[in-house]
Structure 1
Amino acid sequence: MTNFDSKNLSTIHHDLHDHLPSEPALRAKALESLLVEKRLVDPEAMDAWIEMYKEEIGPKRGAKVVARAWKDPAFKARLLANGTSAIDEFGFAGHGTGHLDVVENTPDVHNLVVCTLCSCYPFSILGMSPAWYKSNEYRARAVRDPRGVLKEFGVDLEDTVEVRVWDSTSERRYLVLPQQPEGTESLDEDSLTRLVTRNSMIGTERDLWQSQSDR
């Protein structure tokens, strides 16, 4: 006769549900299955696009640009002079980077990027924009109270640090060049790339050593 252990079955049931995808993920999967069934989407092509955005088109591209600027003063000068031309050296120019300005954080200046009209964003080097970047609250408060917004992101600036807010448009978009963390001068580009975060290139992070410890 089979033994019935209600406690054990309850544990198994709980574990199974803990590993289920979230409701939005389940809905997305159901939609994908329907599109594939109707032959409106090629599943292999979809997987390829997801992988590209995750591994190539996402913030890793921007991080590579930042790391090169930290290691190569000549490239940094070109990047600050003409962001679009400089990132094209990597082959990264694309949607949202046709007119790209790069603004540099310094000990005395912190830059913050916003789009007050909609959600203009350099997709080809930062990937998909975060939900908060598109929110009405961020778009309004980043201009009206940038220090307050930064504090909510964990960036508490001294009064002596100037905050510059850059408003992106369809004609002009911005990338923040964060400060290189102290003590990383001997690291190679690949190691430096891993220090750079998406938020640091928008301006809602400043201390990259701190962001590493928070991961």
Structure 2
Amino acid sequence: MSTSVPTTDTSTPGQRARALLKVMQDKGMVPDGYIEQLTDLMENQWDPANGARVVARAWVDDDYRRLLLEDGTAACAEYGYTGPQGEYIVALEDTPTVKNVIVCSLCSCTNWPVLGLPPEWYKSFEFRARLVREGRTVLRELGTELPPSVQVCVWDTSAESRYLVLPQRPAGSEHLDEEALRRLVTKDVLIGVALPVVR
């Protein structure tokens, strides 16, 4: 009687993903060009520069600002920033007494078309768990010190809400045009863990 000894799988996640893709392609389950289109979407079209464009316009155009705050999805759609993870966009307005910051406590969902793919730290369990419990401390550790008079509001992204932080226009930016204002808005600013600064 022979017994077989189970072998240990030593393949990498990348190798397993490629093998799965090949099986799906062989069965005709992946349309031609699908992977290339998705790669272009993630690498080139989903970009925090999109969010910077939205914020800068809201800083200089009161009508657009109102639309963004009333219907973030429609405001972002004016620029074509739609699609997967771009549904149900809600703009969170910072004020002199409120600082908004977003997180996805269950995974790493965010507003991809406007913020780009989430950074590694955003996906970490430590960030997700701690931000909800001790938002002010986490912001301080990330370099954003807020006065005690400012309340930190943490918003948990879900399938029904994809957030974008609309920060206050920074002091000293009055002379900047819309293009220059865009350069003040980074992915961290859009997530809410940083403030736009005029250098």
Question: How many residues are matched?
Answer: 176
Distance 1:74 1:89 in 2: 13
Structure 2 equivalent of residue 131 of structure 1:
120
Q: Helix, strand or coil: the match of 2:145? A: coil
Distance 2:196 2:144 in 1: 8
1:46-94 CA distances to partner (integer Å, 9 max, x unpaired)?
59945x6555421010110001100101100000011001111111122
Structure 1 equivalent of residue 90 of structure 2:
101
What is the aligned-residue RMSD (CA, Å)?
A: 2.6
Instruction: Spell out structure 1 runs of 4+ moving beyond 4 A.
Output: 45-50, 52-55
Structure 1 equivalent of residue 59 of structure 2:
70
Structure 2 equivalent of residue 205 of structure 1:
194
Matched, 1:196 2:185: yes
Q: For residue 167 of structure 1, what is the amino acid of its counterpart?
A: D
Question: Tell me, which stretches of 5 or more residues in structure 2 are unaligned?
Answer: 1-11, 26-31
Q: For residue 85 of structure 1, what is the amino acid of its counterpart?
A: A
Structure 1 equivalent of residue 138 of structure 2:
149
Distance 1:120 1:75 in 2: 26
Q: Percent identity?
A: 44
- The Cα shift of 1:96 comes to 1.1
What TM-score, normalized to structure 1?
A: 0.73
1:105-126 CA distances to partner (integer Å, 9 max, x unpaired)?
1111100101111111111111
Which gives a bigger RCO, structure 1 or 2 (Cα 8 Å, sep 6+)? 2
Task: Judging by fraction of residues, say which structure has more helix.
Answer: 1
Q: For residue 90 of structure 1, what is the amino acid of its counterpart?
A: Y
Question: 2:45–2:113: 8 Å Cα contact kept in structure 1?
Answer: no
Distance 1:126 1:164 in 2: 19
Structure 2 equivalent of residue 162 of structure 1:
151
- The Cα shift of 1:194 comes to 1.1
Q: For residue 134 of structure 2, what is the amino acid of its counterpart?
A: D
Question: Tell me, which stretches of 5 or more residues in structure 1 are unaligned?
Answer: 1-26
